Amino acid sequence: MKQLFPLLFILIFTACGKTATSSAPAFKAVQYEELKAVLEQNDDVLYVVNFWATWCGPCVEELPGFMEVNAEYAENPKFKMILVSLDNVKKLDKTVKPFIASHKITTDVYLLDDNKRMNLWIPAFDASWSGSIPATVFYKNGKKLHFEENQLNKTELKNLIHQYL
């Protein structure tokens, strides 16, 4: 019995550790091509991709609703929300990371560090996009399904998700 207890403890500790680390959201600075590769997966998942910044009032205002919706769909393997920060990469540690922590952001966050090529990637996401934020794009199997260049409330977001999920 004495030999079984340490083994049981190690198994439980290891399992708990894996659960905690595997559910942690991704956070990294990327170029357009890296972000594009994430969105072009042919995996039958609906990707809700929100472009935002810490300095954008309407973006910050809509984020709590986005996080509530993300929590509602957290167990759905056919759903994934991604936030794409357009903050300056120099503000990553002093502004963006603390913002994510204090606002309890629970999704993958990519900081799109590619401002010099914005004339390439803005129209690539949607030809009608002026570049203003917030903006939200819906993808499934590598194809864009819908684009919104404005603030979305929780109900509007859920309706769009239901339409495409």
pLDDT at 136 over 90: yes
- Residue 114's nearest CA partner among 27, 26, 25, 34 is 34
Domains of the chain: 25-164 (3.40.30.10)
- The SS3 of residue 41 is coil
Distance in angstroms (rounded) separating the CA atoms of residues 131 and 119: 9
CB count in 10 Å sphere of residue 77:
9
Joined tokens for residue 126: 């949607």
For 6-52, the pLDDT digits (tens) are 333 333 333 343 333 345 677 899 999 999 999 999 999 999 999 99
The average pLDDT across 66-84 equals 97
Half-sphere exposure of 72 (CA within 13 A, CB side): 12
- pLDDT bucket at 130, cuts 50 / 70 / 90: very high
Sequence-ordered strand ranges (E) for 17-134: 27-30, 46-52, 79-85, 108-112
For 86-129, the pLDDT digits (tens) are 999 999 889 999 999 999 999 999 999 998 999 999 999 999 99
User: Residue 23: its pLDDT value, please?
Assistant: 53
Please say whether the beta carbons of 138 and 145 come within 8 A. yes
